Amino acid sequence: YQELRTTSRRIASALAPKVERGTPVMVYMEKGVDALTVFFGTLYAGSFYSLLNPELPKSRLEQIQSVLQAHIVVTSADLKDAAADIFPTAELLTVEELREAEEDSAALAAAQDAAIDTDPVYINFTSGSTGTPKGIVVCHRSIVDFIDCFTQLFHITERDIIANQAPFDFDVSVKDIYGALACGCTLVVVPRTLFSQPAALVSYLEEKQVTIMTWAVAALCLITSLHGLEGQTLSSVRRVMFSGEVMPVDHLRTWMDHLPEAVFVNLYGPTEVTCNCLYHIIDRDRAYDEGIPLGVAFPNRQVLLVGEDGSLVTEPGATGEILVRGVSLALGYVGDEERTAAVFTQNPLHRRFPDRVYRTGDLGAYSDAGELFYRGRKDNQIKHQGHRVELEEVDLAIEAVPGVTRCRCIYDKEKKRLIAFYEGTAEAAALRAHALETLPPFMMPTKILPIEAMPLTKNGKVDRAALLALSREAAARRRARTKKREKDL
């Protein structure tokens, strides 16, 4: 940690004369210790950061920069040429150069003296329904408030070893990075290549004697789907926490059988509330026939269930939208007052004084026992591979291709597949090639299918439910043909 601090402060000393208050530093780097030193160096310098994942398509990176308007890009020597091509108007700096600077204690003290707890720390981008990614701005106060609760509730100490799975532009990583800092424990940044080798990944976790896993549901299910736990031991893991989407009970049971002494925790909360607002500690003796509840609120947060008329929903079985109150709420969306105002709103339960809530767009309902369960979305946003995806953004990306008159995507929850239907004369192969150039991997449709005309609802809107039914009927016909061929043979 001393080495990390020294390097970060050297980077900060080089950045301090260059950064402007209220403007971000873009970090175009692979995740790892070098990226962390740039994060902390940026904060020491009095600025804030946004990580841009080099795996993203160039066009998406350019979209994000159009929102950020960052003047400074920090990258690594091996990515410098790529960064120069993507961000031609920004000043380009490398971590290798920055960490050679001498520490300027006076400049860093001045930056610290000028800082307040509502200053931003980072901007993470998520999918946007207008075709432009939304940049969520999170401040110091929100992170400190959440991480203090998180580490205390789950008894994370300096003796723990945290295995980081999430990319650094995904807010699950915030719990790893700042949880480790808060406790002074060990943070193991798991190499990305291991996630295509489940058995080797589990062996690596055992070799590092990992004790804490705070992972996306998709990553845990990848291991169990490919039988990565079979014949393996995870002797030190004492706590597994998961979030991002609904955890399939069968996959959870496999993990629990393999780790009979570990505590498992279901976490819920979108990026806009700073990581999580609800948690449920798994009861090993419970069947969870209704699914896994969202749980109870973290300290210093209130979670409300509100109906369309703005009234509080308390009756079992009645559906309402999940709203969140508390200082952990994000500041809003960078450069987008309209979308910020639409979801960071006055508490609908009263008008007596300003009382800001975040409208998650998630629907929930209470059981007879008073537990809150997830019941889907109000809009066309989905969770896929742990990421939030606005179906409209995928629609717009494909509609940009010549020969496409309309595109509508659907999500098959059972198969965990994103499927695009389109009207027009374009070839599906051309659409796929275009999508690969414009969309991040987690937003790529599994299938892109032509359709003569979109089915419509009685209100004249495209009926996505009917499209889902069509895709399932087509899949059933394919299965039937396959079985017939096998029988004939």
pTM (predicted TM-score): 0.84
In this structure, what is the dihedral angle of CA atoms 7, 10, 16, 17, given to the nearest 10 degrees? -150
Kind and range of the H or E element at 16?
A: none
Find tokens 């597994």 and name the residue. 240
Nearest to 380 by CA among 359, 411, 406: 411
In the structure encoding, which two tokens stand for residue 374, read together? 């997830």
pLDDT of residue 130: 64
At 33-56, the pLDDT tens digits run 999 999 999 999 999 999 999 999
CB-based contacts of 360: which residues, under 8 Å, 6+ apart?
270, 272, 273, 321, 322, 323, 324
Strand pairing category for 48-51 and 91-94: unpaired
pLDDT of residue 460: 66
CA-to-CA distance for 458 and 456, rounded, in angstroms? 7
In this structure, what is the dihedral angle of CA atoms 105, 108, 114, 120, given to the nearest 10 degrees? -160
Angle of the 391-399 helix axis to the 428-438 helix axis, nearest 10: 120
Low-confidence ranges of the chain (pLDDT < 50): none
At 141 the three-state DSSP class reads helix
CB atoms within 10 A of CB 32: 14
At 277-331, the pLDDT tens digits run 999 999 999 999 888 999 999 999 999 999 999 999 999 999 999 999 999 999 9
Distance of CA 182 to the CA centre of its chain: 22
Nearest to 223 by CA among 187, 188, 247: 247
CA-to-CA distance for 190 and 418, rounded, in angstroms? 28
Contact between 37 and 7 under an 8 Å Cβ cutoff? The reply is yes
Strand pairing category for 24-28 and 72-75: parallel
pLDDT of residue 293: 96
pLDDT of residue 396: 82
Question: C-alpha distances in angstroms, 387 versus 61, 197, 311?
Answer: 17, 21, 30
Residue type for position 205: L
Question: C-alpha distances in angstroms, 389 versus 87, 153, 283?
Answer: 25, 30, 31
CA-to-CA distance for 316 and 311, rounded, in angstroms? 15
CB-based contacts of 269: which residues, under 8 Å, 6+ apart?
243, 275, 276, 277, 278, 324
In the structure encoding, which two tokens stand for residue 21, read together? 């208050």
Nearest to 72 by CA among 116, 121, 16, 9: 16
Based on its alpha-carbon atoms, the radius of gyration of the chain, rounded to whole angstroms, reads 23
CA-to-CA distance for 162 and 177, rounded, in angstroms? 9
Which residues make beta-bridge pairs with 280? 266
pLDDT of residue 129: 63
